[in-house]
Chain A
Amino acid sequence: EPEVTQTPSHQVTQMGQEVILRCVPISNHLYFYWYRQILGQKVEFLVSFYNNEISEKSEIFDDQFSVERPDGSNFTLKIRSTKLEDSAMYFCARGTGIGANVLTFGAGSRLTVL
């Protein structure tokens, strides 16, 4: 299957600014995920999205975060007012295989908040 494409590959922003990270996974998949990885730390689950609704979110995914699938193909993660600690790699993934049991990840978007 085609890979998951994420844009931008790297974004630098000022603290307090809004950021939108995009993911193009293919429109006929139902399960999508956002994960993040702060430099040198574990990969952390943010949110899962099933059938155009949030199915689960972590404590990290507070009111500053939102996800959308605006046009049935793109899948976006928005951070409304970025903080320094939001600096991380953000990975989009889709569920594939039988029962969507396997995750296919994008290459990630590196967010640097100054």
Chain B
Amino acid sequence: DAKTTQPNSMESNEEEPVHLPCNHSTISGTDYIHWYRQLPSQGPEYVIHGLTSNVNNRMASLAIAEDRKSSTLILHRATLRDAAVYYCILRDRAGNNRKLIWGLGTSLAVNP
């Protein structure tokens, strides 16, 4: 399974943008880039995913490098509720292998 590398932790101030990086240099052409987050004492929550083009949704934006070997999750205005562990995961779009392989993620602290 292709692996991802994320910083262990990051810190932000409330209402400021946050850029969470992820390296995935061994990504294959059929891998989607998924981001999930896990708030304290809760189940994981889907944030966003993309393949090649940048993506936007109500929660965040995903900027994907042209060579797809890295990506950045962008929270445009961090809130206290965004304090969570953020996971960058590669998921093969082909075949029946749909499981997610989780790393340790980035623990985001948001200061008031």
Residues on A close to B: CB < 8 A? 4, 31, 33, 35, 42-45, 48, 50, 55-56, 58, 91, 93, 95, 99-108
**Do B102 and A42 have beta carbons less than 8 Å apart?**
yes
Complex contacts, A99 vs chain B, CB 8 Å: 93
Size bracket of the B interface: 20 to 34
> Quick one: closest B residue to A40, CB to CB?
B104
| B contacts with A: majority SS | loop
Task: Tell me the complex Cα distance, A45–B99, Å.
Answer: 7
| A contacts with B: majority SS | strand
Can you spell out 12 A-B residue pairs with CB atoms less than 8 angstroms apart?
A: A4-B43, A31-B98, A43-B100, A45-B101, A50-B96, A95-B98, A101-B49, A101-B91, A102-B34, A103-B44, A104-B46, A107-B43
Complex contacts, B42 vs chain A, CB 8 Å: 107-108
Complex contacts, A106 vs chain B, CB 8 Å: 43
Complex contacts, A58 vs chain B, CB 8 Å: 99
